Each structure stands twice: as C-alpha cells, then as structure tokens.
Amino acid sequence: MEITILKPRNAINKAFLKIKPNRTEIESFKTNLIQLLDRTNDTESEEFHKNLVTGFLNKTN
C-alpha cells in the first residue's frame, strides 16, 4: 500500500471550502481540542478515549 500525502485543500470536499467559520467558532474548537488533549492518558483504555472523542465532537458541532 502506498501512502500519498495530500494538502488540506486537496483532501477536503470542495463544498466545505465555501464555508467560512467565524472567530468564535475557531476559538471554541481550539479550547475543546486543548481540553481533549489534556484529558488523554496513556494508561487508560481505548473505550475511555473513545468517550473523550465523542464528547469533543458533540461540543464542537
């Protein structure tokens, strides 16, 4: 299997490129991402981390 590296502009669907996020959405995403990364723990299970990611995605929609 060969891995191809794509730039973000080529990897994302063209319809999403037309959506312009506002500054508050970006700041909210950054805050939630930092919280997610702070809560991760190498000793915890995959199920624990799956729940963290689910919570992150629910908060950032």
What are the residue boundaries of the structural domains of the chain, listed by start? 20-59
Residue 9's contacts (CB-CB under 8 Å, 6 or more residues apart) are: 17
Least Cα distance to 60 among 35, 19, 29 occurs for 29
What is the structure's pLDDT at 18? 87
Percent of the chain with pLDDT over 70: 100
With beta carbons less than 8 A apart as the criterion, state whether 53 and 36 touch: yes
| Residue 9 clears pLDDT 90, i.e. is over it | no
Report the mean per-residue pLDDT for the chain.
Answer: 91
With beta carbons less than 8 A apart as the criterion, state whether 56 and 34 touch: no
Task: Give the span between the Cα atoms of 30 and 37, in whole angstroms.
Answer: 11
